[in-house]
Amino acid sequence: MKVLISDNLHQAGIDILKSHPNIDVVARPGMKPEELLAEIKDADALVIRSATKVTADLIAASPRLKVVGRAGTGLDNVDIPAASKRGIVVMNTPGGNTITTAEHALSLMMALARNIPQAANSMQAGKWEKKKFQGTELFNKTLGIIGMGRIGTVVAERGLGLRMRVLCYDPFITKELAAKIGAESVSLDELLARSDFITIHTPKTKDTAKLLSKEAFMKMKPGVRLINCARGGLIDEAALLEALQSGKVAGAALDVYETEPPGADWPLRQLPNLVCTPHLGASTEEAQANVAVAVCEQILELLLYGTIKNAVNAPSVSQEAMAQLKPYLTLAEALGAFQAQISEGAVTSVAIAYVGEVAKLDTKPLTHSILKGLLSPVVGDEVNYVNAPAMAASRGIHISEEKVDATEDFSTLIRLTVKAGNEENLVAGTIFGKYEPRLVRINKFRMEVVPEGHMLFIYNTDRPGVIGAIGTTIGKHNINIARMTVGQEKERGQNIILLTTDTSVTPECLKDVLALEHVAMAYQLEL
């Protein structure tokens, strides 16, 4: 079996592959696109880092390909839907970069506080500018951490060791769990207002893109310092430029960028209060060895034994079980993703009920799929079908399951109840025919919804003309409605509306819908 390595990979991983006589290792980093297309035709596995773009065309050109393994976490360079359609497993190595990325963020924070790069450049130029580069202490300062996954938690622990006060914002972290770490869980607005240093450790999603915007900068205290070692695009670079120039932000340290590498005319490059590094978060000898070894071991286990680990698009089940579970897996993940996007506050408990025919199956993979769907909007590529339960537990989420033989209105049903903050939401879904997932209940509302694509979820008062006004408003933003489903609660005079749209609902459109009379709440969803 041929394993193709198309990016630079630590020798420790390559040695593991070469130790097996049945594995033919071809390491050709830096191939041109046409060379990669030719080389992958007879490959059984592909090992990549961030450079190789695994496109739909590349997948189509690889009839033997069984697995794509990313030595690292981020999978922005892999067309996961195209791989899934072909039955190709996509796996990553969450956790391998945790320490090194956290340490880089802390290094940047220290460099920022003491103007170390600027002072070093001045010395190399033959100058002695002691007064110019006076810095600030970290001791007794307030560190705000956005995102308390693996990396954010390590940063918090190290920040506490520096005797900093640590605030954190994470939708899935309760105040009690944060307190165990030694941090204080607060709202995003409070974190922005109180922090002397702010570091970001969250994935880039529709909700976090340009999270630190012009409006966010206005909420920060004067002289705040920012660090981003997570994803480019979490900070609005145009707004950051203005804030650095005005002095609102005293300094920023970036390891990731909206465009990588930034162009020669990138305006932030010339600012004296910016520290920047070329995406070095995972660039240590130890981290490179860790992720290389991990991904190569995972690939071997799949090729030789059929065992799937850390897959982002496939749970570890037999082919026979997969045939029965496949439609339910899609439904389960959609239920979790739906709950994640409508729940406000930290999720504290998840209750899953398998009713009817589905209760007779091995439901463990379904629970994993629900949790992956629930966590993905917040933690991104770090969560997969294998580690989802552990990640939920690490966030203090209580999970309960029950199997019910007796059927309700449907012969098979998955019911998911999520408690977040002071609210509790219930969604339920079933399978129509053999393969068609449907949402059939949202709290007290009964309906039939295809859980896929771009969606707009609306709570409204049941009044004549409301649906028409919503449609007109969406049309003004040039967004086409593909499907619409309405659920009605006559006793209280309330409706819910689920619209499937051809394109994503923009923030401006969402704002206009919320401004309509009789619209109580609206959420933009991606399923």
Q: Where would I find the H helices in 61-196?
A: 80-85, 98-114, 116-124, 150-161, 175-181, 188-194
Residues 133 and 270 in one domain: yes
Residues 214 and 321 in one domain: no
231 annotated active-site: yes
Note the pLDDT of residue 146. Answer: 97
Number of domains in the chain: 4
- The 10 Å CB-count burial string (b at 16+, else e) for 213-240 is eeebbeebeeebbbbbbbbbbbbbbebb
Query: Mind giving me the DSSP string for 473-520?
Result: HHHHTT--EEEEEEEEETTTTEEEEEEEESSPPPHHHHHHHHTSTTEE
279 annotated active-site: yes
Domain termination residue (choose one: 299, 314, 329): 314
Residues 345 and 438 in one domain: yes
Tell me the mean pLDDT in the region 108-113: 97
Among 84-93, 228-237, 313-322, the minimum mean pLDDT is found in 313-322
Domain termination residue (choose one: 276, 296, 323): 276
Main-chain phi, psi angles of 160, to 5 degrees: -65, -35
20 annotated active-site: no
pLDDT in tens, 133-185: 999 999 999 999 999 988 999 999 999 999 999 999 998 888 888 999 999 99
pLDDT in tens, 19-28: 999 899 999 9
Task: State the average pLDDT for the chain.
Answer: 92
Residues 445 and 413 in one domain: yes
pLDDT in tens, 404-426: 987 668 889 999 999 998 899 99
Note the pLDDT of residue 324. Answer: 80
Residues 392 and 298 in one domain: no
> Which CA distances in Å does 73 have to 35, 52, 281?
26, 14, 12
Residues 209 and 122 in one domain: yes
Catalytic residue, chosen from 129, 176, 260, 452, is 260
Residue 489 belongs to domain with CATH number: 3.30.70.260
| Tokens describing residue 321 | 């079980």
Main-chain phi, psi angles of 341, to 5 degrees: -90, -15
Residues forming beta bridges with residue 68, ordered by sequence position? 46, 90
Residues 229 and 322 in one domain: no
Residues 158 and 265 in one domain: yes
Tell me the mean pLDDT in the region 203-224: 92
Residues 375 and 437 in one domain: yes
pLDDT above 90 coverage of the chain, percent: 73
Among 105-109, 236-240, 314-318, the minimum mean pLDDT is found in 314-318
Where would I find the beta strands (DSSP E) of 239-298? 249-254, 274-276
Tell me the mean pLDDT in the region 8-14: 95
- β pairing state of 398-404 and 412-420: unpaired
Residues 387 and 457 in one domain: no
Res. 390 pLDDT band, cuts 50 70 90:
confident
At residue 387, does pLDDT exceed 90? no
Residues 116 and 239 in one domain: yes
At residue 318, does pLDDT exceed 70? no
Tell me the mean pLDDT in the region 487-508: 88
At residue 39, does pLDDT exceed 80? yes
pLDDT in tens, 453-484: 999 999 999 889 999 999 999 999 999 999 99
Three-state SS for 321?
A: helix
Note the pLDDT of residue 316. Answer: 67
At residue 207, does pLDDT exceed 90? no
Note the pLDDT of residue 457. Answer: 94
Residue 526: domain span: 453-527
CB-CB contact of 331 with 365 (8 Å): no
Q: Which residue has the higher pLDDT, 48 or 312?
A: 48
Domain termination residue (choose one: 294, 314, 334): 314
Residues 169 and 239 in one domain: yes
> Which CA distances in Å does 418 have to 41, 168, 175, 352, 390?
45, 23, 18, 9, 17
Residue 113 belongs to domain with CATH number: 3.40.50.720
Catalytic residue, chosen from 104, 158, 225, 231, is 231
Note the pLDDT of residue 97. Answer: 86
Residue 328 belongs to domain with CATH number: 3.30.1330.90
Catalytic residue, chosen from 194, 279, 477, 518, is 279
